[in-house]
């Protein structure tokens, strides 16, 4: 290809090729040029927003150069690539990350100071890219960071929602949802007007026999919606590798109004069609760990899978390789079951469009896909009704039935005597209406299935997917324990701690090899180091205290014990256990004399997180936290002994302030329900300890950091079923302390008790989440935490050891495990100067 370009053209290109700034002068020139031209502003109306815009665009220029180079080099190298399909990418802010990865943050800080701006303020202008709900979406974002940082040729594929997760406002103690329109200025995306895919919905399947007598299926007469590509550069840390995140946006097929309708006076109808098409990528479904089976959600899933696969297949076909090479060139990872339709879609492309026979096509499909399961909770396992799929995707339904037929025939041959097995494992649930079990389809269509922490991966093998282990054997099922990127979650969020660590480890290599942190163990008993470590924690707590003061008006004492639970509000995550515990503490403080109270360890209980808009119980929990805060924070007898804070609109950028500021964070899900959790890792990495149940990654965190350095409590996963059984047949035993809490609520201590009766009644009636069974152990563990915190030297010893032993939980380790066990891909270095 290169040889075909005339020399004159090459020379001109080389002479003028963009290079990007490397020093302060050139940064200022680039930023000012963008402010003046791209943003059309002058010195006299250059506010912080414009400074952000100019800085972002200057850094964007730098990223684009590496991005082009990377994409070109990956295309020429002709190596296997990874495609990560996720309906959620919770990216947060991009500028700080771009500055870090490019390695020019100090240059930008000095340049911005010259222009009269503080870097922190400029960074703070950016809105979060919040295209996700919680852990699953943030995991995808961490994985993209690691894939690029480790030089893997990889793309993410997702949806370009016009509205990300809603903004949460707290009004009179209640959650109110406000739409998050985040696209009005987004310098990080590139519309690719030339990259479009037409996606079909509805219609019918026509069959005919071709000249060889082979039956051919044609899916026709459907409604067409166009997918437009928007690309987001994903820079790696300290490497030129810059990968791509491609997000699809939906548009009416003609791109314009239907002129026929427009001219014949059906103006309204033509606008309506346009809007209908755009609705597909309009909004992120705000449910975490819950499946609601809405038609529009299924449309989103197919739209995104079909566009992505079309794109991947188009790229593969350019290479002119034989189809059997497909799985040697391409690995596709399914982030939960949301992209499972990619499986029948690839089979459809290969069989219907490319004319491959069923078995050849199917072996390509299975060898291409890997499936990650993130939950065992029944209410989160996706099922789609057969009539709905029949209506929306008639050809895919046929293919799913055929996949199931082949699969069940295989099962029958292998287990001829087990009739029950067939109905248990069938992809089609024989209910009314019939349902397609997406997890089963994902297992059957993938060569590897993984859970996200050891306990979770064991649970899926022994519970929800037990039969599939019998059918396929152990080797198809594996574990990749989740991780987080230390670039964002240590260096960006906690620059002072990162600097302290670097001063002892002789540089920042640990940001790319987090296991190097183990060298910090030598400093756990070092007086000076402890003091520096403690001062950083105090400064981070002060930063959070200031934020709390600004946003809620409540003053909290940074010397108090900061006890934090921030995550989606969900019954299984048990924020109710936390707030009942807080009330219990409040009642105890009220019963004390002032002298006794003075001796108590002062505490700040901090909550944050969104409730799905339709999740009544979760909204009750938020309301109770806010009402308890109102009462406790205004109780003059209590003062600093206890404060209760709800931080509004918890998101990625707020987590960057919160995670470095904890003494204790809470990861207290009912054992066996939280697949992994990832914020547990963020808090420990930033020098905070955990109160937690034996669940998800807490178990492996304990193994790594040592059981002396974590506060575990509560019933074990293996005992939960038995306790629930007891609840059903013998009733729930309400803990004495919890009963006092309920009495206080019923007596109206926190406002009208009717508001909270749903919350207390579920505990009394079923206590599915074991709030009562774990309550006493929970409160006792908090007392132990108070005791332990009094001995600050011992506490520092624990926290430093814990940080030193967190190396395992880097997302880089996850990516290496996926690459080796599931994808079979190798990294590929991009040359610093040219492809």
Cβ proximity to ligand TH1, 483 vs 660, nearer residue: 483
Cβ proximity to ligand TH1, 697 vs 773, nearer residue: 697
Q: Which is it for strands 435-437 and 448-451: parallel, antiparallel or unpaired?
A: unpaired
140 binds ligand TH1 (CB under 6 A): no
Report, in Å, the least distance between residue 572 CB and ligand TH1: 9
Of 626-645, which residues contact ligand TH1 (CB under 6 A)?
none
In the list 123, 403, 675, 814, the residue contacting ligand TH1 (rule: CB under 6 A) is: 675
Distances (CA, A) of 202 to 276, 347, 393, 642: 14, 18, 6, 58
Report, in Å, the least distance between residue 455 CB and ligand TH1: 11
Q: Rounded to an integer, what distance in angstroms lies between the CA atom of residue 83 and that of residue 81?
A: 7
Compute how many residues bind ligand TH1; rule: CB under 6 A.
Answer: 20
Q: Rounded to an integer, what distance in angstroms lies between the CA atom of residue 255 and that of residue 153?
A: 32
Contact 564, 665 (CB under 8 A): yes
In the list 581, 677, 688, 692, the residue contacting ligand TH1 (rule: CB under 6 A) is: 677
Name which of 830, 810, 818 is nearest 331 in CA terms: 818
Is 573 considered catalytic here? yes
Among 567, 603, 724, 798, the active-site one is 567
Name which of 21, 29, 30 is nearest 57 in CA terms: 30
Among 568, 570, 585, 813, the active-site one is 568
133 binds ligand TH1 (CB under 6 A): yes
Cβ proximity to ligand TH1, 236 vs 677, nearer residue: 677
Cβ proximity to ligand TH1, 374 vs 396, nearer residue: 374
676 binds ligand TH1 (CB under 6 A): yes
Contact 148, 69 (CB under 8 A): no
Report, in Å, the least distance between residue 337 CB and ligand TH1: 8
Cβ proximity to ligand TH1, 139 vs 825, nearer residue: 139
Of 794-823, which residues contact ligand TH1 (CB under 6 A)?
none
700 binds ligand TH1 (CB under 6 A): no
Distance of CA 326 to the CA centre of its chain: 29
Cβ proximity to ligand TH1, 404 vs 698, nearer residue: 698
**Interface characters, 523-562, with ligand TH1 (x: CB under 6 A):** ----------------------------------------
Phi, psi (deg, nearest 5) at residue 562: -90, 120
SS3 state at 705: helix
678 binds ligand TH1 (CB under 6 A): yes
Cβ proximity to ligand TH1, 153 vs 692, nearer residue: 692
Is 297 considered catalytic here? no
Cβ proximity to ligand TH1, 498 vs 676, nearer residue: 676
665 binds ligand TH1 (CB under 6 A): no
Structure tokens given for 388: 């709905």
Among 81, 396, 448, 573, the active-site one is 573
Phi, psi (deg, nearest 5) at residue 669: -60, 150
Q: Rounded to an integer, what distance in angstroms lies between the CA atom of residue 712 and that of residue 255?
A: 57
In the list 139, 428, 632, 744, the residue contacting ligand TH1 (rule: CB under 6 A) is: 139
What's the helix, strand, coil split of the chain in %, to 5?
Answer: 55, 15, 30
SS3 state at 1: coil
Report, in Å, the least distance between residue 291 CB and ligand TH1: 7
Cβ proximity to ligand TH1, 139 vs 234, nearer residue: 139
In the list 375, 492, 653, 760, the residue contacting ligand TH1 (rule: CB under 6 A) is: 375
Among 34, 488, 610, 682, the active-site one is 682
Per DSSP, the residues of 377-412 read: -GGGS-EEEHHHHHHH-HHHHHHHHHHHHHHHHHHH
Report, in Å, the least distance between residue 610 CB and ligand TH1: 13
Cβ proximity to ligand TH1, 452 vs 564, nearer residue: 452
Name which of 378, 387, 310, 373 is nearest 340 in CA terms: 373
Name which of 264, 153, 290, 185 is nearest 618 in CA terms: 290
336 binds ligand TH1 (CB under 6 A): yes
Sign of the Cα pseudo-torsion (678, 684, 687, 692, in order): positive
Is 38 considered catalytic here? no
Report, in Å, the least distance between residue 672 CB and ligand TH1: 11
Q: Which stretch binds ligand TH1 (CB under 6 A): 113-121, 215-223, 281-289, 640-648?
A: 281-289
Q: Collect all residues with Cβ–Cβ distance below 8 Å to 496 and sequence separation of at least 6.
A: 536, 539, 540
Q: Rounded to an integer, what distance in angstroms lies between the CA atom of residue 460 and that of residue 792?
A: 41
136 binds ligand TH1 (CB under 6 A): yes
Q: Rounded to an integer, what distance in angstroms lies between the CA atom of residue 693 and that of residue 712?
A: 5
In the list 380, 397, 618, 825, the residue contacting ligand TH1 (rule: CB under 6 A) is: 380
565 binds ligand TH1 (CB under 6 A): no
714 binds ligand TH1 (CB under 6 A): no
Per DSSP, the residues of 643-683 read: EEEEESS--HHHHHHHGGG-SEEEE-PPTT--S--SHHHHH
Distances (CA, A) of 702 to 73, 707, 783: 42, 5, 20
In the list 145, 151, 231, 288, the residue contacting ligand TH1 (rule: CB under 6 A) is: 288
Of 426-465, which residues contact ligand TH1 (CB under 6 A)?
452
Report, in Å, the least distance between residue 418 CB and ligand TH1: 30
Report, in Å, the least distance between residue 473 CB and ligand TH1: 24
Report, in Å, the least distance between residue 161 CB and ligand TH1: 14
Contact 711, 692 (CB under 8 A): yes
Report, in Å, the least distance between residue 139 CB and ligand TH1: 4
In b/e form, how buried is each residue of 102-129, taking b as 16+ CB within 10 angstroms? bebbebbbebbeebebebeebbebbbbb
Q: Rounded to an integer, what distance in angstroms lies between the CA atom of residue 821 and that of residue 206?
A: 41
Of 290-319, which residues contact ligand TH1 (CB under 6 A)?
none
Q: Collect all residues with Cβ–Cβ distance below 8 Å to 420 and sequence separation of at least 6.
A: none
Is 682 considered catalytic here? yes
Structure tokens given for 411: 């099962």
Contact 186, 284 (CB under 8 A): no
Q: Which stretch binds ligand TH1 (CB under 6 A): 175-183, 260-268, 287-295, 363-371?
A: 287-295
Cβ proximity to ligand TH1, 136 vs 199, nearer residue: 136
Is 678 considered catalytic here? yes
Q: Which stretch binds ligand TH1 (CB under 6 A): 249-257, 625-633, 671-679, 750-758?
A: 671-679
Q: Which stretch binds ligand TH1 (CB under 6 A): 250-258, 430-438, 463-471, 670-678?
A: 670-678
Cβ proximity to ligand TH1, 289 vs 670, nearer residue: 289
71 binds ligand TH1 (CB under 6 A): no
Of 471-500, which residues contact ligand TH1 (CB under 6 A)?
482
Contact 663, 637 (CB under 8 A): no
Contact 51, 112 (CB under 8 A): yes
Contact 306, 345 (CB under 8 A): yes
Contact 186, 247 (CB under 8 A): no
DSSP 8-state symbol, 821: I
Is 324 considered catalytic here? no
Longest dimension (CA), the chain: 95
DSSP 8-state symbol, 670: P
In the list 696, 714, 737, 807, the residue contacting ligand TH1 (rule: CB under 6 A) is: 696
SS3 state at 430: coil
Structure tokens given for 230: 């928007």
Q: Where do contacts with ligand TH1 occur on this chain (CB under 6 A)?
A: 133-136, 139, 287-289, 336, 374-375, 380, 452, 482, 674-678, 696
The residues carrying an active-site annotation are 374, 567-568, 573, 678, 682
């Amino acid at each position: 290809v290169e040889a075909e370009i005339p020399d004159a053209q090459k020379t001109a290109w080389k002479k003028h090729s963009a290079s990007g700034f490397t020093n302060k002068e050139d940064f200022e020139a680039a930023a000012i040029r963008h402010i003046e031209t791209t943003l059309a502003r002058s010195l006299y109306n250059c506010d912080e927003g414009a400074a952000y815009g100019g800085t972002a665009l200057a850094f964007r220029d730098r990223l684009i150069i590496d991005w082009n180079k990377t994409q070109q080099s990956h295309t020429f190298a002709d190596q296997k690539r990874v495609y990560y399909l996720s309906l959620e990418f919770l990216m947060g802010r991009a500028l700080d990350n771009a500055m870090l990865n490019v390695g020019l943050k100090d240059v930008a800080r000095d340049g911005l100071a010259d222009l009269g701006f503080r870097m922190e303020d400029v960074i703070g202008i950016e809105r979060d890219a919040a295209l996700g709900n919680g852990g699953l979406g943030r995991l995808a974002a961490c994985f993209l960071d690691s894939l690029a940082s480790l030089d893997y040729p990889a793309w993410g594929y997702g949806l370009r929602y016009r509205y990300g997760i809603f903004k949460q406002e707290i009004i009179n103690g209640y959650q109110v949802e406000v739409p998050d329109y985040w696209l009005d200025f987004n310098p990080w995306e590139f519309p690719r007007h030339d990259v479009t895919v037409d996606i079909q919905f509805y219609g019918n399947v026509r069959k005919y026999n071709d000249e060889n007598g082979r039956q051919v299926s044609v899916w026709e007469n459907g409604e067409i919606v166009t997918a437009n590509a928007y690309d987001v550069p994903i820079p790696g840390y300290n490497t030129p590798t810059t990968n791509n995140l491609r997000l699809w946006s939906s548009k009416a097929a003609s791109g314009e109004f239907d002129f026929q309708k427009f001219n014949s006076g059906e103006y309204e109808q033509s606008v309506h069609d346009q809007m209908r098409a755009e609705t597909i990528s309009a909004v992120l479904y705000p449910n975490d760990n819950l499946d609601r089976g809405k038609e529009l959600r299924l449309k989103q899933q197919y739209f995104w899978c079909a566009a992505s696969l079309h794109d991947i297949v188009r790229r593969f076909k350019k290479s002119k390789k034989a189809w059997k090479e497909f799985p040697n060139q391409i690995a596709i990872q399914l982030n939960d079951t949301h992209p499972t339709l990619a499986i029948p879609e690839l089979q459809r492309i290969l069989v219907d469009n490319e004319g491959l026979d069923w078995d050849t096509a199917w072996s390509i499909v299975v060898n291409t896909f890997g499936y990650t399961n993130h939950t065992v909770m029944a209410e989160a396992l996706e099922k789609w009704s057969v009539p709905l799929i029949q209506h929306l995707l008639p050809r895919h339904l046929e293919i799913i039935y055929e996949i199931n037929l082949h699969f069940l025939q295989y099962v029958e041959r292998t287990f001829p005597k087990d009739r029950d097995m067939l109905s248990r494992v069938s992809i089609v649930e024989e209910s009314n209406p019939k349902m397609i079990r997406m997890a089963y389809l994902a297992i059957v269509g993938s060569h590897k299935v993984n859970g996200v922490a050891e306990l979770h991966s064991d649970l899926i093998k022994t519970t929800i997917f037990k039969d599939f282990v019998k059918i396929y054997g152990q080797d198809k099922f594996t574990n990749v324990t989740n991780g987080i990127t230390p670039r964002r979650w240590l260096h960006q969020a906690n620059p002072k701690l990162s600097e302290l660590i670097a001063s002892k480890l002789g540089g920042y290599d640990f940001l790319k090899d987090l296991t190097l942190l183990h060298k910090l163990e030598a400093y756990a008993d070092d007086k000076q180091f402890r003091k520096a470590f403690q001062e950083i924690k105090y400064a981070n707590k002060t930063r959070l205290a200031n934020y709390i003061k600004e946003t809620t008006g409540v003053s909290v004492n940074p010397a108090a014990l900061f006890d934090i639970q921030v995550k989606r509000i969900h019954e299984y995550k048990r924020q109710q256990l936390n707030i009942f515990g807080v009330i219990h503490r409040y009642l105890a403080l009220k019963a004390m004399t002032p002298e006794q109270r003075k001796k108590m360890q002062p505490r700040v209980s901090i909550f944050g997180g969104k409730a799905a808009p339709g999740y009544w119980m979760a909204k009750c929990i938020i309301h109770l936290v806010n009402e308890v805060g109102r009462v406790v924070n205004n109780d003059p007898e209590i003062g600093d002994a206890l404060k209760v804070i709800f931080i509004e609109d918890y998101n990625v950028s707020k987590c960057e302030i919160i995670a470095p500021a904890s003494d204790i964070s809470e990861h207290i899900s009912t054992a066996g329900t939280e697949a992994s959790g990832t914020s547990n890792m963020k808090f420990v990495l930033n020098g905070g300890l955990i109160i937690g149940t034996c669940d998800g990654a807490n178990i492996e965190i304990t193994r790594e950091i040592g059981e002396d350095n974590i506060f575990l409590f509560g019933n074990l996963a293996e005992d939960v079923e038995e306790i629930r059984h007891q609840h059903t047949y013998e009733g729930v035993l309400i803990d004495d302390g919890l009963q006092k809490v309920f009495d206080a609520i019923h007596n109206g201590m926190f406002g009208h008790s009717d508001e909270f009766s749903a919350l207390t009644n579920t505990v009394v009636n079923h206590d599915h989440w074991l709030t009562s069974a774990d309550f006493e152990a929970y409160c006792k563990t908090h007392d132990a935490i108070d005791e332990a915190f009094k001995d600050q030297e011992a506490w520092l010893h624990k926290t430093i050891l814990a940080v030193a032993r967190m190396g395992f939980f880097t997302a880089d380790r996850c990516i290496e495990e996926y690459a080796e066990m599931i994808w079979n891909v190798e990294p590929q270095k991009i040359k610093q100067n040219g492809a």
